[in-house]
Homo-oligomer: A and B are copies of this chain.
Amino acid sequence: MAKLPTNWFVEHVTPDLIQQFSIKDILYSGKTRFQTAEVIDTASYGRCLILDGKIQCSERDEFIYHEALVHPPLITHPNPETVFIAGGGEGATAREVLAHKTVSKAVMVDIDRQVIKLCRRYLPSLSQGSFEDERLELHFGDARNYLAHTQERFDAIIIDLPEPIEEGPAYLLYTEEFYAMLRERLRPQGVISVQSGCAVMGVLLNFIAVNNTLKTVFPRVFPYRAEVPSFGGTWGFALAGEGLDPLALSPAEVERRIAGRISRPLSFYDAETHRGLFSLPKYLRQEMAQENRTIADDRPLFIY
C-alpha cells in the first residue's frame, strides 16, 4: 500500500463526478486579481495550470486542445492574415496561430496578466517564444470591452476562455450579444472558433448552448470535439463563420494547406483528424437537435 501515490489533485468535474491525478510537486499556489491559480506537476500529465480549481491545460496533452482550437478555422479560411485571440493567457493558442505563415498580425487580449507571467515561468513550452514574436500584439483587459472599442476586423477570431462560472471573469463572453460583436469584427470570409466546454455525454449543456447561441448569430455553425484526457474526456468546440464549410475541403486540400502554411510539424491535426473532429455520434446529434437553450447577457449559463 505504501507504494500508492500519497498526494493528489482533486477536481470536481460535476457535483457527482471527480477526477484525481497524483501530484509530484506544487510549483505555485496563490491568487491573482481575478482567480485562484495553481501550477502542479502530475505523474499522468506533467505540469498543469489550474484556475479556480479547474484544470486549464497540461503539458502532456495541451497540444490536442490548442491544435483543435486553432487549426480547423485557420485551415478552413483561404488565407488568414489577421487573427484575434480572446483569452489564451498560456500563450499556446498564440503559438499555434503564429505557426501559420499567412498570419501577419495576431491581437491577443487576456484579462489576467499574472496568469501569463505564471505560464511563462512555469510552463514555457506552452508559449514557446510566442510572446517575443513581433506579429503578436498583447493587451491586458476584458476582451469584450476591447472589441467594443475597436474598429479593426479580423480573418479569424479564436475564443479561448475559461468556462463560465458564477464567480469567474468569463461568463459574459459566452452570450449572443458577444457573438454578435464578434461577427461585426470579422472580415468577409471570416471564421471563428470557440472552446465550448465539456462535451461528454451527460455534461453537454454548455457545449450545446454555445452552439445554439452561435446559430442565432452566424449563418453556418459546425460543432466539433476532441478528446483531451486531462480535461476528463472529450472537449467541445464550435467553428462558425460567414459561409466557409470545413467539411467541403477534400483531405488532399487539407494536407496541402497544412504543408504550405504551417511552419512546423503538428502532433494532433491532419486531414484524417480534421474529418474525425466533426464526426459526432448519433446520440449527440439527436441531443443537440432537441435542446434549444441559448445564452444571453440576461440569461447567462453557469457551469458547475
Contacts of A21-48 to chain B: CB distance below 8 A? 21-26, 29, 36, 38, 40, 42-45
A233–B229 touching, CB < 8 Å: yes
Contacts of A227 in B (CB 8 A): 200-201, 227, 233-234, 281
| CB-nearest residue of chain B to A36 | B2
A225 CB, min distance to chain B CBs, angstroms: 8
B8–A8 touching, CB < 8 Å: yes
Known: A233-B229, A282-B272. A7 touches B4 (CB 8 A): no
A252 at the binding interface (Cβ < 8 Å): no
A contact residues, range: 35 or more
Contacts of A54 in B (CB 8 A): 2
Beyond the given A17-B44, A266-B282, A267-B283, please list 6 additional residue pairs across the A-B interface where CB-CB is below 8 A: A2-B52, A2-B53, A6-B11, A8-B10, A17-B22, A273-B281
Query: A40 is contacted by which of B1, B7, B22, B282 (Cβ under 8 Å)?
Result: B7
A34 CB, min distance to chain B CBs, angstroms: 12
A281–B304 touching, CB < 8 Å: no
Contacts of A289 in B (CB 8 A): none
Give the CA-CA distance A175 to B147 in the complex, in Å.
Answer: 56
Please encode chain A, from 37 to 71, with 1 for each CB lying within 8 Å of some chain B CB and 0 for all others: 01010111100001011100000110110000000
B25–A26 touching, CB < 8 Å: yes
B304–A282 touching, CB < 8 Å: no
Known: A7-B29, A8-B18, A9-B6. A279 touches B268 (CB 8 A): no
A7–B24 touching, CB < 8 Å: no
Report A's interface with B, CB cutoff 8 A. Answer: 1-12, 14-26, 29, 36, 38, 40, 42-45, 50, 52-54, 60-61, 63-64, 165, 167-168, 200-202, 226-227, 229, 232-234, 266-270, 272-273, 275-276, 279-283, 285-286, 304
A20–B22 touching, CB < 8 Å: no
A38–B273 touching, CB < 8 Å: no
Contacts of A232 in B (CB 8 A): 233
B269–A276 touching, CB < 8 Å: no
| CB-nearest residue of chain B to A35 | B2
24 chain-A/chain-B pairs, Cβ below 8 angstroms: A2-B36, A4-B53, A7-B8, A7-B10, A7-B23, A7-B26, A15-B22, A16-B43, A16-B44, A19-B20, A60-B201, A61-B202, A64-B281, A201-B227, A201-B229, A229-B233, A232-B233, A234-B234, A267-B283, A267-B286, A268-B281, A268-B283, A273-B282, A279-B279
Query: A268 is contacted by which of B21, B229, B282 (Cβ under 8 Å)?
Result: B282
Contacts of A2 in B (CB 8 A): 36, 52-54, 165, 167-168
| CB-nearest residue of chain B to A43 | B16
